[in-house]
Structure 1
């Protein structure tokens, strides 16, 4: 794994470097928003995980996140933030972060989050170097929706769904695999995020909102809110 950590606190970077080395991970650091974008844009495909502090000099972390997402819609992105307000965290998720960790954080917890997100992103991508008859099949199919979980091809109303992040892909897969089943937010946290989120349900709401925005121009909305319960996937409407 190759990690880009964007963090202006050198002591935090030095601490995390020790943990990265212990995991045998490659890593790089950027200490301000401008340097971070320059480093990322030199070779976006190089990085497997981005760790991004929101409070950065020269360029705000929110803007850096948005700029990274314009270059790559799929690179897994974890926000590191001392901002403890719900609006900041939700805004970061809506911009395109897959996860966030509030400072001060445990290095062991952050490593666990990195592993979980990376594992989920790899499962979502599947093998990309085999092109045979199986690549043309879709393993999640409903009335107006089809998904190939190996090639990450996703179609709704015969139109490709563009630029899904790993978490958006996982959300769609989880709900579309059981159409019309209502999932509570707690269930989606367990199934999609793969570790305890301590009841932080706004994470699900923020990702659902972003996902709906990507689907809204393709036809009738298929992610339905079941008030007081959660969400379901339902594409039965014509």
Structure 2
């Protein structure tokens, strides 16, 4: 079954390169040359993932990502960028990007990243209903409730939460947390964990100054409390 991907990038040559290579690996690529065109395309069609350039004239990739998350939920998004500044990567991750691929990159590397992101977005074969600290997670449906209220998470936020809930009451080191969430590749570091923990706290209703559910163990990692007091 072919994977359908939308490339939002003003570089026509990149589209031609990727579409030719990915077609040989059962990935169909559609192209939108600007942010507004990409958003319009997403509105009228369904895609398995989005490849999104950061540096575009007019509406840049970060603004496009904001709108994708508001309108299209947790569709996997891989950011493509020539920028090397960590701040740009962090902002993208805070907005809900699932991965970052710096330009220039090889189509082979992008394909590997795409497959990894799509694997993480797929439900696990075995359904689990996990509970801890007022949080309920259904792994097959990838749904989360906090005190009975549904919460929408990005793919990586969900995977990190599952790793924490499965080991509720125990400290999970950052490196182990990434490994259990399936994100121990070189593109993801401890700063990424901190960014997503911060987002998770907000979505779970934690006060960032005195978090009750996800607590920091300085210099080690994080722990999801069994009971919220």
Q: Scaled by the length of structure 2, what TM-score is found? A: 0.89
CA contact (8 A) 1:220 1:237 kept: no
Q: Which runs of 5+ in 2 are unaligned?
A: none
Specify which of 132, 156, 164 is matched with residue 153 of structure 2: 164
Gaps of 5+ in 1: 128-133
Cα shift at 1:143? 4.5
Count residues with an aligned counterpart: 225
Residue 234 of structure 1: aligned partner: 225
Aligned residue in 1 for 2:55: 55
Whole-angstrom distance in 2 between the partners of 1:105 and 1:54: 15
Distance 1:53 1:214 in 2: 27
**What secondary structure sits across from 2:196 in the alignment?**
helix
**CA, structure 1 residues 51+148, in 2 after alignment: closer, same or farther (shift >3 Å)?**
same
- In the TM superposition, 1:35-54 aligns within 5 A as 35-43=37-45, 46-54=46-54
Distance 1:10 1:185 in 2: 39
Task: Give the TM-score of the pair, scaled to structure 1.
Answer: 0.86
**Cross-structure match for 2:137:** 147
Aligned 1:1-238 pairs, distance under 5 A: 1-43=3-45, 46-123=46-123, 139-160=129-150, 162-197=151-186, 200-216=189-205, 221-238=212-229
Once superposed, what is the RMSD of the aligned Cα atoms? 2.2
* Secondary structure class of the residue paired with 1:55: coil
Cα deviation, 1:125-157, whole Å, max 9, x if unaligned, reads x79xxxxxx8xxx62122522221122332222
Residues 7, 30 of structure 1: 8 Å contact kept:
yes
Answer with 170-179 or 10-19: which moved more: 10-19
What stretches of structure 1 move > 3 A for 4+ residues in a row?
217-221
State the shift of 1:199 in Å: 6.2
